[in-house]
Structure 1
Amino acid sequence: MGSWTRMVVLLPFFTSTFCTPLINELEPGKDWPTRGSVKQPYNQTDDVQDPIEASTTTSELVNETPSSGKDELEDITIIARAAEGNAKVDYSGAQLWKVSTEKNGVRVILGRLKRRNLIATWAGNQTYVDVLIKPNAVANVTRVFSRENISYDIIIDDLQKRINEENPPLDENEIELQNRRGHRMTWKQYHRLQDIHEFLDYLATTYPKIVSVNTIGKSYEGRDLKVLRISNGNPSNKAIFIDGGIHAREWISPATVTFFINQIAENFAEESEDFKGIDWYFLPVVNPDGYEYTHLVDRLWRKNRKPAYAGRACFGTDLNRNFGYRWGGKGASSNPCSEIYRGSRAFSEPESRALSEFIKTSAANFSAYLTYHSYGQYLLYPWGYDNAVPPDHKDLDVVGKNIAEAIQKTGGSKYSVGSSSGLLYPASGGSDDWVKAQGVKYTFTVELSDTGRYGFILPTTNIEPVARESLAGLRILASYVSKL
């Protein structure tokens, strides 16, 4: 990779419309297909790679309209600079703005700024977008926003300073506690992959009657995809699958999932019979290559690390656009340089393929699937591929709202509940859509804290509060699964 790190838009919100009519895969009242029986709309075995399109996908297009006055933007490229080799990307001077998009034309202007590579986006919905202003573009973008009377708040005034403060070293007391515990996990720090995997192995050794660990596959760079199971061994148990870390930069996700693991494993004997009657499966880091890359090189890297086409400088596929249900549709790009690149075909990536094969072939009776992301505080259920809902969407909505209520009662965080496409934006090829299409009843994507003050750079002091309130929500889900 050269001395420049490309930063591409994350959210596919630059569309002329947000809503399409509701489209249900089955008519209300009809039974779900049996697991594995849903035919995929694309040939997953075709090894021919898609050509690189000259333009972005439909979901990324902007209908250009003239702005008022002269366009004062310089035709320049301003991006975060990294030194040669594996030196860390430097975001000094980059800022995060929360931009109101309720005024007509704002998204068009954001689209123009994005195409000039002056901004990138982090998160948002139909009323606002969190926009990363690249280091030397602040004056240009400020001038345009002032001219167009666009409302915004500066949330982070120096992103690199926030990154430097995000994950401080442990104090001596915490290090001593690590030594006594026998593993390095603390939930007062964001840990590297080795610490997470050694923690899983430690639990399997310490609680062999209920905990086991298996590697279900390898990442592109050869790292293990480790799944931990907690079970009392009853063959009639329902099962819940939980994953985290599909997107590399969302560090709060693996931290929350490992917190769940620790709490359930260490307190299993005290749990209710209903709770113990569930087989718990956890894959804390779906994207280990990308996760390590965020620690070593680029804190804001999103995708995995598999190279794209030969001769292209762009790396990585968005694993949450690579699953085989409605792959390649709205909200996914065919451009390998895009942060929402869908991959050359459905399940082209070893990480998404390993996860899907495990769920399809496991003897476990999966009744629920949770995938943890950040940020925004949303509880999202299918469908994501279009503004659509499954036949049992009312059930999912009720469960989601009860989970959100438990979270708020425990920690005070307010989560919005709705379908992925309806509450946010269409995004095809997601893991949640694919799992739902396999017949798994309760399927949710959870966008963890916060709502934008820190965004992806959530301080370590937030780990335990976020994880504890999320565990309270998980207990609500378990109560519904136990009744199936």
Structure 2
Amino acid sequence: MKYSLGLLVLFVGATLVAADQDYEGYRIYEVIPSSADQAHLLHQLSLQGYDFISETRLLGHPSRVIVSPGQLEQFERLVEAENMTHNLVNSNLGASIAEEFAQRQMQRLLAPITGKGRLSTERYYTHEEIINYIDDLAQRFPSRVFVKTVGWSYEKRVLKTITITNGDGKANKKVIFMDGGFHAREWISPAAVLYVIDQLVEQFEENAHLLKDYDWVILPLVNADGYEHSQTGTLARMWRKTRQPYTYGGQTCYGADPNRNFDFHWNEEGASSNPCADTYAGPTAFSEPETITVRDLMHSLADRGIMYLTIHSYGNYLLYPWGWTSDLPENWEDLDAVARTGAEAIQNATGTEYTYGSSTNVLYIAAGASDDYGYYAGFNVSITMELTGAGSIGFNPPVTRIDEFVTETWIGIRAMAEKVIEMY
């Protein structure tokens, strides 16, 4: 390898980013690899505990990494020694998080939510508000909307799906299954899913063709515990995992990465066996009640399920299986056509560029993910959509730009759904 193994060793003993902490003085760097060796080096850092909030193996494409004050000297030595292009994009993550929370608290005071009527795109909502919203839709549109309790989180928060139909009463239609909120800190994900729900229900006339032969089953928030935890205050803002406690080396570490917890090539490359790591795969496959819920939904829908779509943030990617290997599924050309259609629709409408391809070949191997499992369970098309990032943190665009981002996302989702309907 071109890069210095000696410098890399400096990172092997680096401590993992603590779960709940003050991010004062933490920085976010954008790093752009220009060679395969540099890209590989960045990936090795991610496996050794560095929190990459976006990562790619594509040369010339930026990755973003959080660097703690204690890691700063070593990190700068490494990127400078390797002549790796890097830019400081946030000089104090803690200050950005504090500002975000102050704005959020002011919004809640000025615009309290009743759980009735349409949700605006001017703020991020709590788990309770999301559940109240879909319950209200079921009451207002009883012939087209059905809400069902499908599971409970570790901390006993209810997990509900909303099934959206055209109300014609026909049974056994094909299904598009969609979910959001796998990773707690990705607040824009449930926001985008809520907008999809709004378009299919409140804007039914404009989108009736998407519901003629298909039902949409949507789980708006998978990781309810982690999502709520990330909203409790500045110390928890960057939380990613679930919240089930695990003991490791005499300490308690919380949660597993739900997107590494599926029983398909579970705990292989790209996942961690360390409970304190952000990519912890869990002590066993399906150790988390949240992933059990998604699994059971997939199998219950598989005989009708055509497309599985999971919404994440961020990076501007439309990814399809496999994530556990660089090999491609048999119908990869169909998957590629659907992803390409979404990317082209977004670019034509807004100019935003999305990269599409198989997860491993665009990013890195990440075994045990939900999109791989959805395809394995029988869905013809399985797509992970990594939304556009913005703001000082990336996972959540400023509230003034939520509408812009969710409408852009809907353009891609609608185009992909139309392509799936055309193909299947």
Check 1:384–1:140 CA distance in 2 against 1; reply closer, same or farther (3 A cut).
Answer: closer
What is the Cα-based RMSD across aligned positions, in Å? Answer: 3.1
Identity fraction in percent: 36
Structure of higher CA gyration radius: 1
Alignment partner, residue 261 of structure 1: 197
C-alpha contact (below 8 Å) 2:302/2:377 kept by paired residues = no
Check 1:452–1:398 CA distance in 2 against 1; reply closer, same or farther (3 A cut).
Answer: farther
C-alpha contact (below 8 Å) 2:260/2:281 kept by paired residues = yes
| 1:1-150 to 2 correspondences below 5 Å | 65-67=5-7, 89-102=21-34, 106=38, 119-126=50-57, 127=59, 128-139=62-73, 141-150=75-84
Check 1:209–1:425 CA distance in 2 against 1; reply closer, same or farther (3 A cut).
Answer: same
What letter is aligned with 1:329?
A: E
C-alpha contact (below 8 Å) 2:390/2:396 kept by paired residues = no
Check 1:359–1:108 CA distance in 2 against 1; reply closer, same or farther (3 A cut).
Answer: closer
> Per-residue displacement from partner, 1:100-121 (whole Å, max 9, x unpaired)?
333576568768977997x532
What letter is aligned with 1:220?
A: Y
1:442 maps onto 2:381 in alignment: yes
Gapped regions of structure 2 (runs ≥ 5)? none
Select 1:352's aligned residue among 266, 291, 314.
291
Distance in 2 (CA, whole Å) between partners of 1:384 and 1:321 is 10
Distance in 2 (CA, whole Å) between partners of 1:101 and 1:446 is 23
Check 1:329–1:255 CA distance in 2 against 1; reply closer, same or farther (3 A cut).
Answer: same
Of stretches 260-269 and 278-287 in structure 1, the one that deviates more from structure 2 is 260-269
Distance in 2 (CA, whole Å) between partners of 1:404 and 1:230 is 25
SS at match of 1:313: strand
Please identify which structure carries the higher helix content: 2
1:304 maps onto 2:242 in alignment: yes
| 1:393-412 to 2 correspondences below 5 Å | 393-412=332-351
Distance in 2 (CA, whole Å) between partners of 1:422 and 1:172 is 42
What letter is aligned with 2:123?
A: Q
SS at match of 2:240: coil
Distance in 2 (CA, whole Å) between partners of 1:394 and 1:140 is 43
Structure showing greater relative contact order (alpha-carbon pairs closer than 8 Å, 6 or more residues apart): 1
Distance in 2 (CA, whole Å) between partners of 1:272 and 1:116 is 48
> Per-residue displacement from partner, 1:338-357 (whole Å, max 9, x unpaired)?
11111122212111111111
SS at match of 1:314: strand
Of stretches 230-239 and 399-408 in structure 1, the one that deviates more from structure 2 is 230-239
Distance in 2 (CA, whole Å) between partners of 1:264 and 1:469 is 15
Check 1:201–1:416 CA distance in 2 against 1; reply closer, same or farther (3 A cut).
Answer: same
Gapped regions of structure 1 (runs ≥ 5)? 1-15, 18-62, 83-88
C-alpha contact (below 8 Å) 1:79/1:135 kept by paired residues = no
Select 1:162's aligned residue among 62, 74, 96.
96
C-alpha contact (below 8 Å) 1:330/1:386 kept by paired residues = no
SS at match of 1:272: helix
Distance in 1 (CA, whole Å) between partners of 2:171 and 2:420 is 16
By how many angstroms is 1:254 displaced?
0.5
Distance in 1 (CA, whole Å) between partners of 2:256 and 2:289 is 11
